[in-house]
Each structure stands twice: as structure tokens, then as C-alpha cells.
Structure 1
């Protein structure tokens, strides 16, 4: 009897995939080292308990999942097994971490970040940001920048006909490996800047130029989707209908700088494609009182304070480079919104005595909201729905048994601590 698809998949193991790659020509010594790292990790995790066991176990599970999906490639192995080895080192010798905490290791410039359930992972955006920091910090960081460039070059993976720096863990519904326009655009910028300062164009530029490939390819291999007369570059290659404003804008900043530093016509063309789309799109991320973080599935939502400022800063960078009116105007709007109080509009609310109903109002921007209900100056109820997004809002309230009109005071404080208040009337009808 033939094996079921599930049974067949179970037979695709890490060991089997390493054997397959060695037979296909991968370096036997390297494969032997990867096999030893995996065997050691499996033995170490059995001796751990609690959170340490969960985190290292999660990394092993992610690795085994990629093997089962036949996603091992020769170029991907260095980053896969470096990640596994670093997790073995961390969870067997180091302290517990808070979610999102970043760490590094002696002798390495790479930035790792803790993702609960998936251990510590190479944070490519953080790593490229560090390289940019060395560039802006001046020549005193040149040695460290050079070392980081070497690590970055050695951990690129073949993807979409070129090279990419991949994330190797599940995130927001994406299965690994996935890539990000935000990270890779920043990476191309950082590599070109440092290579130019260090006079390493000859060995760095070819690698960085190969990194343009994800901007030419559709998801899930790449990040390019059509938008108007141009192209939108996705922050997450595994989420093809999810547009993130700050990621797209910063990817254009990176492509702009990379094209200028390298003189590469493909990079210039890719920037121009994205620029045409971004000039049309950026206004759709402006609510008139705040910015949207994202549009499309899985969710359209407003920025938190950090992401609002980040988008504003990325737009400022693009405005300064291009003087394009759409970017400059959006940056000005988003700056003004930081001091603009929310606006509130009470809507007619009619409830039935002793029944659950809703108090309705409109809110212009994401805010923390409180409702105080009184009758004849006496407090009746205080409702604290917490942080609400913009638009028409309905807050549940069980009306008291006494019919008549009640006064409601709605107070909203936005994420930048601007406050506004409005009053309205709630009519409570007798039960029929």
C-alpha cells in the first residue's frame, strides 16, 4: 500500500535533507558540522526544563518543519544552523529574555531578537540598522562595519533568482522562510554605504546587487505586487494582500540611496516603479487625523505612536531626497497630527430600560476613551472601553430601570496625549 501524503512528509527529516544536499554536491565537512549541531541540540533540549526547553524546542521544530517542506538549500544552511547553534548556546548558559529583547554574541556583530516560542532569531532589520549606525558613526567604527559586512555576505540565501536575507521562523501567519522589503531595502542601503566608505565595492556590490531580485519577483518568493502604474513592495512576502506603509516607504529610501551609490540602472528602475505607486498610495494611509499602519488583509489598522513617528520620519527622508509633494505633504500632516486633539461627535443613543444597548459616538483618531453617564448631576456609570480606533463607535451599557434622558460625557486622549471632551444625551425608554 502506498504511503499517505502525511506519512510521506514525515519521512523527510533534517538528516535526510542534509544527506540529499551532500549528494547534490554540498561540502561534506560543512554537512557533517550541521548534522553534529542538530544532534547536539536534540540531546540538549531533553535536559532543559520550563521556558528554556520551550524556546530551544521551538527552534528545533521550526528547523524540522522546513526540512519536512523540503526547504533546505545549500545557501540557506549557514543561517539555519547558525540560528540553531546560537539558541543552544543561549538557552543552556544565559538568562531568560523578555519578548522582543535583542542580544548579540562575543565575536559576532549580528543582532538576534527573542520571539517567544521561536527562541532567538537573526533580526535582519536590526542587523542592517546596526551597519547603518556604524556608517553614520564615522571611521572609528570601520573595523566593526567590515566584520559585519563579512557576516552579512556569508548568510545570504539564493532566492527569486538572486540573494536574500531571510527570516527563518513563523510570523503573523507566514511560514518560513520569508523576506521583507523593509529589511532588505535597508540592507542594500547599509551595505552600499559601508562598502563605499571601506572601498569594498568589488566584493560587496555584486552581493548587494543580487539582493535586488526580491523587488522584481512576486510573492511569496519576492515582495513585488502591482499597484496603479507602479509596484508596491511588501513588508512581508508571505502576506500578499497586506500593505504596511512604513515598510514600503523605507524600502524606497533604501533603493534610492542604493541606486545613487551604485549607479545601477535596475535599482533606479525599481525605485521609480515603487515611487509611482507610493505617490498614489500614501494619501490612503492618511485618515485626516492620524496615520494607518496597514491596509488590506489580514487587518487595516491605525499606527501606534511609535509607528506613526517612524512613518513620518521615513517620509521626511524620502521628501528630502526627492522633494516630491506627496511625501512632503504627508510628512507635514503626520507631524501636525501629533499635536492635534481628537474630535468627538455624539450620536443618538436610545436604549431600553434594564436591557443591554450601546452608547454611540464618532471618533477621529485612535484614542483611550472614557464615558461618564449622569442624571440630574449624579453619577450613574463610568464606562472604560480602553483604546478605540477611529470611526463610529458603540460602547455596550445596560440601561437602568428608570426611563428618561441621561447625560453622557465622552473623553478621548490620543496616543500623543492630546485630549478632547464632548457631551451628549442618552434616552432610556420604558420596557414595552
Structure 2
């Protein structure tokens, strides 16, 4: 499929206003269709007639294939077709968005017609292409931009695969969309309550790293130009962009459709990408965007550290094992970048500008917070949970009661209440940090033992026990005749 040349895409920076849900009048939306929108763009001279015909044929062929499918395959392709149709009806057909839109349609049509059903979350590439795709059950195959630019960074790190790196980045830029006054790598499917098209600060930040590194390695300033254009979403508030202004600076969202959801691993990686671009391109706009985000991360990062594990998002959602390690790694990356800045500044003193500069260089942020937090998160991986059985000392037989306990980190917890060798209660569940209450109704009086065993997500185990006295059941009052 023909793609917009990289230079033309980067040079043509158009602000795109994304209409919120319900902004398109119902009557106007009902009149729009894939065919009519393609015709509109063709008549306006913004879409080549041959390309419009190819897109129109691709949509017709996909609908024809859908009629031949059943069950699970039918559901996946139907969702992809539905996303394309919704984009047309919602007035979201713009020339730069169409290459990715119709490539997604064509990949899904071919896959669901003949290929094996992939596992949920499975990633793949196609012959002749280096773009990474992922299967999202209920939404079909979709471009995975984070995986694509993660692959680009891996190719850069491999040092010897420069031709593949160039091919991948050129292919990716041909699928970028004009958005937020620049270019963006959009996700074109429904995800976790968000409707397409949406963007991710995490994925775009990873793209900034890959593009900036490639510009230096390949000695090709087109990639700096592309990265500079990709800064748009970091300047723009949601839903077009990911910038949320704060008193300290700015938080960069992981999902442009979820303004209240602050995910710390995605925010940290966005800063790593901004830092790479600002440093490698010596770009003042990149430096300003990084500084605003770094000031905010410095303010909010301590709130994502429970003292025993990391939080994934606020309020209070602990990371799973993979996200805990991912955040640790992203923080290590930020630590290394800022430590390098301190060393290059020549002062050796974090938070100060080098002496003798004219004009004075900006202060270098102290990397200690990020280095120390990464070290603590590493220690969490080998530290046992801390358990305390809080209460009660007594319960009464045949009456509803509860045992309470606290754990300092997310774990799979088993609570056992036993009378001698007889187990009267056993409950197992994954529980977060904090205080928990498990209901119990003992049948018999006597001495009991409460045991709590917690195995954290990294496999570290701890146990705690407490004595429990069960008093005789209260006697029913005698009836008076």
C-alpha cells in the first residue's frame, strides 16, 4: 500500500481537532459512510483517485469476507470493520490516518479468512514488513506501536542491523497520523473503555528514543525532524494529546482518553524518550517538555512507592510482577540518563549548573530519587511480606465473626482457622497491601489457631499465627408461656 513520504508527512504539520463522542450531529453521522467519505476526500483533492479506489475495494472485500465467516473469526473481523465504519461516520477520515486504517483492515481480512486463531496478546509480523502487530480478542489484529518502537530500539542496540532499523522507522513514519499539531502513532481500536483513535505517551516516548538514536546512528536528520514533530501530543491536553498541566509541571498520560488515570511506568518512559530527543538533538522544546514532566514525576513518584512494592496507578492499584519490574527498569533508565547529565556537566554536584558557563546552563536534576527508588523496587523482589494477625482474641461459637490481618505487599494469601487438627476455615485469594477481614462462624467452643500465609508475586513467602479463643454459644432465652 502506498504511504506518505516521510519528509512530506513531517513537513506538513496540521492541527487536527478530534471530536468528542456525541459531537457529530446524528443526522450528519447517519449520512456519512466509508464510500462517501473517500469520495469527499477525493473531490477535495486530498486523496489520490487510485488510492481512494483501492481503499473502497478493500472495504468491500472485507465485508464480503465477513459474510463467509462464522463464530469467533466473524466477531474479530466484524469489530475491525466496525471501527473503520465508525471512523467514517464520525468524520475522522483524514488522509494521513487512512494508510494505517486500511492496512489494518486488509491484514485482518486476510488473517481471519485463513490463518490460525492466535493466542490472546500474541504478537506477530508479516512478510515484507517489520511493523509489530498484536491480537486483541474482540478487536482483531492491531498495530502495536509500543512493540514496534521497542523493536526499533532493540535494532539500534544490536549495532549491525542499521538497514533494518531504517526500514522499520520509514515504514512506521508512513503510518503516522497528523495530530496535535504534529505526527502521532495512533491506536485504532477500542481498548479498556477508550474509543479510537487514541495515543499513548508511553508508546510515543519510546518512538522518540528510537527516532533520535537513529538520527545519530544513521546520520539522517529526517528522524530528528520526525521526532520534533512527534512532540505535539506532549504539548496538547487530552483527548488530542497526553499533557495534563500540574502545579509542578505536567503529567504525560499513558492513554489520551483517560485523563484521571495516572500510570507511573508509562509516564517515566515518556520522560526517557523526551530526554533522549532533547539531549541528542540539543532541542530546547524537548528540554522544556522533559523539564516539566521531570518536575512532576519528582513530586508524585514517592506516592507510588508503598515501602514494599510499587503502585501501578493511583489510587492504590499495586503493580503486577511484570509492571513492577518494568517500572524499575524505566527508573533505572532515567537514573542512568540523569547521572550521565551530571557527569557531563562537570560539576559532580546534582542540581547545580556547571561553573563558568556563559550563559549559565540549566540545573541538572538530581538523579538520586530515581536511582534509589529503582534499588528499593529491586530489593522488593527478594523481600518477604510482613504479616500481622490483628484480631480478635475471642469469638463466640455459632455467631458471625471475623479474623483480621495486615500484609505490606500484594500477595496470594491463605487464611486458615483450625481447632486442633481440624480445619474449620480456609480461604485463598490475591490481596493487596493493607488490612483485610475474613468472615468466620466457628461451630464449637475451644482453643483455635489462626494461620496466615502470604506468597508475594515474586514467590517470597511469610507466615504468621495467632491464638483464638472461641467462647460457648449463647443460650437461647427461655420462652414464657
How far has the Cα of 1:354 moved from its partner? 3.6
Gaps in structure 2 of 5+ consecutive residues: 1-23, 340-366, 477-481
What pairs with 1:172-321 in structure 2 (closer than 5 Å)? Answer: 172-201=192-221, 203-296=222-315, 300-321=316-337
Per the TM alignment, residue 128 of structure 1 is displaced from its structure 2 partner at its CA by 0.2
CA gap of 1:161–1:420, structure 2 versus 1, over 3 A, is same
For 1:5 and 1:232, the matched residues in 2 are separated by 33
Q: Deviations over 1:276-334 (max 9, x none)?
A: 011111111000100001114xxx31011111111111111111111311101111110
Partner of 2:86: 65
Shift of 1:424: 2.0
**Cα contact 1:370–1:382 (8 A) shared by 2:** no
Q: Does the CA contact (< 8 Å) of 1:244 and 1:295 recur in 2?
A: yes
Tell me, yes or no, if structure 1 residue 100 matches structure 2 residue 100.
no
Aligned CA distance change for structure 1 residues 253 and 5 (closer, same or farther; 3 Å): closer
User: Is the contact between residue 359 and residue 426 of structure 1 (CA under 8 Å) also seen in structure 2?
Assistant: no
Indicate conservation of the 8 Å contact 2:29/2:91, yes or no: no
Q: Is 1:149 the equivalent of 2:165? A: no
> Is the aligned partner of 1:122 residue 2:138?
no
Distance 1:367 1:33, change over 3 A: same
The offset of 1:146, in angstroms, is: 1.3
Distance 2:321 2:449 in 1: 32
Q: Where in structure 1 are there 5+ consecutive unaligned residues?
A: none
Q: How far does residue 385 in structure 1 lie from its aligned partner after superposition? A: 2.9
2:422 matched residue in structure 1: 379
Match of 2:406 among 362, 374, 378: 362
Rounded Cα–Cα distance in structure 1 between residues aligned with 2:281 and 2:401: 62
Q: In structure 2, what is the equivalent of residue 420 of structure 1?
A: 462
1:38 and 2:59 aligned: yes
Between Structure 1 and Structure 2, whose CA radius of gyration is higher? 2
Whether the aligned pair in 1 keeps the contact of 2:211 and 2:226 (CA below 8 Å) is no
* 8 Å contact from structure 1 (residues 291, 303) kept in 2: yes
What's the secondary structure of 2:95's corresponding residue? coil
Provide the rounded CA distance (Å) in 2 between the counterparts of 1:5 and 1:260. Answer: 46
- RMSD in angstroms over aligned alpha carbons? 1.7
Structure 2 counterpart of 1:348: 391
Distance 1:8 1:391 in 2: 52
1:68 positional shift: 2.2
**Aligned equivalents of 1:186, 1:83: Cα separation in 2:** 22
Distance 2:43 2:399 in 1: 72
CA contact (8 A) 1:348 1:425 kept: no
Alignment partner of 2:38: what SS?
helix
Match of 2:374 among 300, 323, 331: 331
Residue 132 of structure 2, aligned match among 111, 121, 130: 111
Which deviates the most, 8-17 or 226-235?
A: 8-17
Measured in 2, the distance between the counterparts of 1:9 and 1:61 equals 14
Moved more, 20-29 or 144-153: 20-29
Counterpart in the other structure of 1:390: 433
Match of 2:39?
19
**More deviation, 353-362/95-104:** 353-362
